[in-house]
Structures are given as C-alpha cells and as structure tokens.
A and B are shown apart, each in its own frame.
Chain A
C-alpha cells in the first residue's frame, strides 16, 4: 500500500514539475505577461549609409516613451532600365550595415526593432509602396540642406499631405553635424 502511495506521489510530483517547466518562465527571462505588447510603430526611413543622429535619438526617445517598435527602413531606388522587382544587392550593401547598426543600438536600449527594405523608382515611390503595405503611427525624417541626398522638400510636403500618420520632420541644424553610420563591414 505504502509503495503505491509513494509511486502516486512520485507521479504527481513529476506532473507538477513538467507543468511548472512549461508554464514558468526560464531563469533570467521576464515573463511575457509583464511586458506590455508594443502598440505603436515608428517608421525611420533613410536612403544612404548614414542618418542624422538627431533623427535617430528622437525616434529612440519616442519609442521608449510610447513602448513602440521602431522600424528603420532603407529606401532603395530601382533604375529605370531595370524591372521594379529587380534585386538590388549593390544598394543593399550600402544600406544594410546601417540597418544592422540601428538594430543593435536600439535593441541594446530595450527598444524593439522591426527593419524593412523598400524599393521604388524614386525614394518617394519606395516610401509610398511601403506605406501602402503597412501602417505606421509616426514617421520621423530629417530634412537636409543637400538637394541631392535623401528625401527632397517635395517629398516631405507629400508626406505631410498624403500620409495618414504623424510626421515628425527634424529641420537641419548647424549644430547637427553628428551622424550615425555603420562601420560593421565584416561583422554583421
């Protein structure tokens, strides 16, 4: 009789152990229930191998404050003589190290990241296609004095008029000389 009881107790203990192993979080990990799911998505589009540090820091501050996911998006241009769905490995070689760099820095600060690459005939076209596929709560772009780089003044005006999201445009500042760029060649 006592042997049966011992066996039953052992079986019960095993069941409790298995159940605990399944339901309890592993050591060192916070249970997911304690971490509220992110509800907001902040798009941070860029077109080259570096971005303004002000834009990045603004995105990080907002993402932390709102528990949002930051979505860095590299915009690539497809030359007119190539089909729109052409692979763009050369441009990706330029943009992807920065995506990696942003992801590393954001993750290290506890901000969730979900990166994107979008392509189009122009930067605006690439952004338009991305916005057609997905919705974002906020878009952060930095204006630039360089007419040949990034999104133009027309593009920014288009963003403000057409995009159903909060658009934050950081105007160029003489003191904004600091950039974030990726020096991760060979390590991502």
Chain B
C-alpha cells in the first residue's frame, strides 16, 4: 500500500476520504517481567507469517537477551536521536512510522513520557496518530500506569508511578490481553536474571517485587480486565440491538450512585460499611447523608459518633453530607436529586410512637418522592444469627 493510499492524520481535514482507524491491542500486565513485550513480539511474528506487513515502531528490551532474540526477523523503524539540554536521547520516530505506513506496528510501553520538543508529550498520543493513520498497533502497559489506579496502587505498594495514562486510552483499546503470571513465578524469573540485570535484582526484591505487592497488583490487573470486558460486552450488546448512538450512553444508563442515610450513633458505622461494600461492587460513588434537626443539640456520645463517621468517610474516600431540616424525606429527596442518586440505603427505622405511628414510614415516603430510585433497608445481621453458633461468616480457624 502506497503512502498516498494510507493517508496520515491530516488527510481527513484535507478533504480526502477518512482512513479506517487502526485496531489497538494492548498487552496488560501487573508488573515488569511478566512477558508483555515477549507476547507482543510473538504476535508480531504470527501476523508477519500470515502475510501482513509488520514493523517494530519501538522496542524496549531492557537488556533482556531473550526479548532481543525474539525481535530478530521483524523490521524496525530506527529511533530518532535528539538532544535535550546537552543530553542525547533516543525516541520513537513517529513521522518515520507514518511514512513507512505498515499494516501493523509494535509499540512498546504505552505510558512512556516523550522527551520535550517532540510532537506529543506522551507515547499514547503518538499511538493515537498511528491509529488514525489506519495502522493497527500492538502495545504494552503495566496496570499501575492507569490514572485511576495510581493512588490505589501507591497505597498497596508504597510506590507511586510517575508515568500515567488516562483510563480511557485503555478503554478505547479494541482488545486487551492480560499477561498473567503468579507472583511466585515472576519472582523466580527476577531471581534468575530474566527481568533485570544482576546489579538491580537485590533492590527490586527489597522494594517493589514482593509477594504481597505482586499479589495485590495481580488482583487489580485481573479486575481491570474483567471490568473492561464487561463494559465492552455491554456496549456491543447495545450497538447490536439498538443502534450506534446508544453505545455511548450505555455506561451512564447502568451507572449507580449510592446514598446512605446515617445518624450519629454507633450502628451507623455498620450501615456505612455495607453501603461502601455495595458501592465497590457496583463501581459506584457513595455519599453519606445525615439530615440534622435544625435545633438539635448533640450529646457527647453523638458528637463522638459523628466524629467517628467523619473519620470513616474520610478513610473510605466518600463524602458525608449534612443537611439541616426537620423534613427528613424532603431533604433526602432533594439531595438524591441533586447528586443523581440511584440507590438509597438506610437502617431500620426506630419504632414509631404516639401520633408518629400514623405517619407514612420513611422508605415509602422516599419511594413516592423519588420514583425510579431503589430504596434498601439494611438489616441487622447480628440479630438474624443470634441463635446460630457460627455467626455471620466468622470462623475460628486453627
């Protein structure tokens, strides 16, 4: 295919027919050394053997002999050299790839930050240009480079990764291939010198490459892929059944936002824990709401419980909203509408006394005021299992 027949990104603006966007396949792993680049190269060879024009746009072997050997036989677009502040740097040659216009291009390390002065600040932006030129791309990524997971992984491992990419880069990938390896197997590879050169092995083992870190990263990576698969399946179903325009709306259509109604008393913590757990499973945001009586004076116990609730909310990363009102259903409805709540969780109401027995219970009032919003009353599981010897999933294990 000639260069003219495979126009670059500017061709559409020039009035030519818009090229087919390339197909992006990302090899995702939990950490360096799991075999992402190796797998990418194997796929490159397979494509080449089936008659496709495959080139390596950028390869980082990190000194691994096996990787370098596997790259043999695949044509490579040479890196371009540039000087930045007196230092000579080598970077991927984006114009060279676009000129070469292969069918498939292998570009390692999607999250890489380019040297200043190039077309783009980040390599994933270079990849966008390559895809827009109709070239299929195979690339690699470690899960800790995803923006949304960066904090979580820093919390799990104590190490913050500086080079990150927006999640939607991975979301736009046509295929995500999870390269999985058990932590023990990866550590064996590391000790055998297959990941880093000997002088770096000790430091790696003492810092990042610990079983607990790798196990946590592996879980995050597997979850990420599962979520992407679920999301893509949903989008595909919408496209197939109801037209292209609905595809973009699909995530919003199923997106949940939870609101847990709390009061400053010890039992509220259980409700918050359960609501948070539900929010985690639904990948939803969670808000806590306390409707405070306007003239309500808090006892010492209530002050303490309120402080504990604030602390819990802060540790969990959820917001505690406090609204002053003597109309609880009205205030809840107003907040729910404002926040876009789809799901309300509340504890069992206190037993009504006197004339308040004549009032409509709060859950019914909320269902009347908020049609389309689910209302869930969180049960006290301890009471349910009072007669059981094995209580609520607790076991004594020897």
Residues on A close to B: CB < 8 A? 18-19, 21-22, 26, 29, 53, 69, 76, 78-82, 85-93, 96, 99-101, 103-108, 112-119, 133-134, 177-184, 187-188
Within the complex, which residue of A22, A82, A118 is in contact with B151, where a contact is CB–CB below 8 Å? A82
Report yes or no: A93 in contact with B155, Cβ–Cβ below 8 A. no
Query: For chain A, what secondary structure do more than half of its interface residues adopt (helix, strand, loop), or is it mixed?
Result: mixed
With contacts A76-B315, A80-B158 known, is A107 near B277, CB below 8 A?
A: no
Report yes or no: B386 in contact with A134, Cβ–Cβ below 8 A. no
> 28 interchain pairs (CB within 8 A)?
A18-B354, A18-B355, A19-B354, A21-B357, A76-B315, A79-B155, A80-B158, A81-B159, A82-B160, A87-B316, A90-B156, A91-B155, A92-B276, A92-B315, A92-B316, A99-B273, A104-B381, A104-B394, A105-B391, A105-B392, A112-B266, A117-B311, A119-B315, A178-B397, A179-B396, A187-B393, A188-B273, A188-B277
Residue of B nearest to A103 (CB): B270
Within the complex, which residue of A21, A85, A91, A181 is in contact with B397, where a contact is CB–CB below 8 Å? A181
Report yes or no: A82 in contact with B155, Cβ–Cβ below 8 A. yes
In whole Å, how far is A27's beta carbon from the nearest beta carbon of chain B?
A: 9
Residue of B nearest to A185 (CB): B393
Per the bound structure, the CA–CA distance linking A22 and B356 in Å amounts to 9
Report yes or no: B393 in contact with A179, Cβ–Cβ below 8 A. no
Per the bound structure, the CA–CA distance linking A124 and B159 in Å amounts to 21
Within the complex, which residue of B216, B276, B308, B382 is in contact with A108, where a contact is CB–CB below 8 Å? B382
In whole Å, how far is A49's beta carbon from the nearest beta carbon of chain B?
A: 12
B312 interface residue, CB < 8 Å from A? Answer: yes
> Which residues does chain A contribute within 8 Å of B156, judged by CB atoms?
90
Report yes or no: B160 in contact with A81, Cβ–Cβ below 8 A. yes
Report yes or no: A184 in contact with B155, Cβ–Cβ below 8 A. no
B385 interface residue, CB < 8 Å from A? Answer: yes
Residues on B close to A: CB < 8 A? 151-152, 154-156, 158-160, 216, 266, 269-270, 273-274, 276-277, 280, 304-305, 307-308, 311-312, 314-317, 351, 353-355, 357, 380-383, 385-386, 391-398
> Which residues does chain B contribute within 8 Å of A106, judged by CB atoms?
382
Query: For chain B, what secondary structure do more than half of its interface residues adopt (helix, strand, loop), or is it mixed?
Result: helix
Residue of A nearest to B308 (CB): A116
In whole Å, how far is A64's beta carbon from the nearest beta carbon of chain B?
A: 15
> Which residues does chain A contribute within 8 Å of B357, judged by CB atoms?
21
Report yes or no: A22 in contact with B395, Cβ–Cβ below 8 A. no
Report yes or no: A182 in contact with B393, Cβ–Cβ below 8 A. yes
- The 9 residue pairs across chains A and B that have the minimum distance between CB atoms: A87-B317, A107-B382, A22-B354, A104-B392, A114-B266, A184-B393, A79-B158, A101-B394, A104-B382
Within the complex, which residue of B269, B274, B316, B394 is in contact with A180, where a contact is CB–CB below 8 Å? B394
Report yes or no: B152 in contact with A90, Cβ–Cβ below 8 A. yes
> Which residues does chain B contribute within 8 Å of A101, judged by CB atoms?
391-394
Within the complex, which residue of A90, A118, A188 is in contact with B381, where a contact is CB–CB below 8 Å? A188
Report yes or no: B317 in contact with A104, Cβ–Cβ below 8 A. no
Per the bound structure, the CA–CA distance linking A21 and B224 in Å amounts to 55
> Which residues does chain A contribute within 8 Å of B316, judged by CB atoms?
87, 89, 92
Report yes or no: B386 in contact with A108, Cβ–Cβ below 8 A. yes
Per the bound structure, the CA–CA distance linking A26 and B351 in Å amounts to 7
> Which residues does chain B contribute within 8 Å of A96, judged by CB atoms?
273, 276-277
> Which residues does chain A contribute within 8 Å of B312, judged by CB atoms?
116-117
> Which residues does chain A contribute within 8 Å of B351, judged by CB atoms?
26, 29
Report yes or no: B398 in contact with A114, Cβ–Cβ below 8 A. no
In whole Å, how far is A79's beta carbon from the nearest beta carbon of chain B?
A: 4
Per the bound structure, the CA–CA distance linking A118 and B394 in Å amounts to 23
Per the bound structure, the CA–CA distance linking A114 and B308 in Å amounts to 9
Report yes or no: B155 in contact with A182, Cβ–Cβ below 8 A. no
> Which residues does chain A contribute within 8 Å of B307, judged by CB atoms?
133
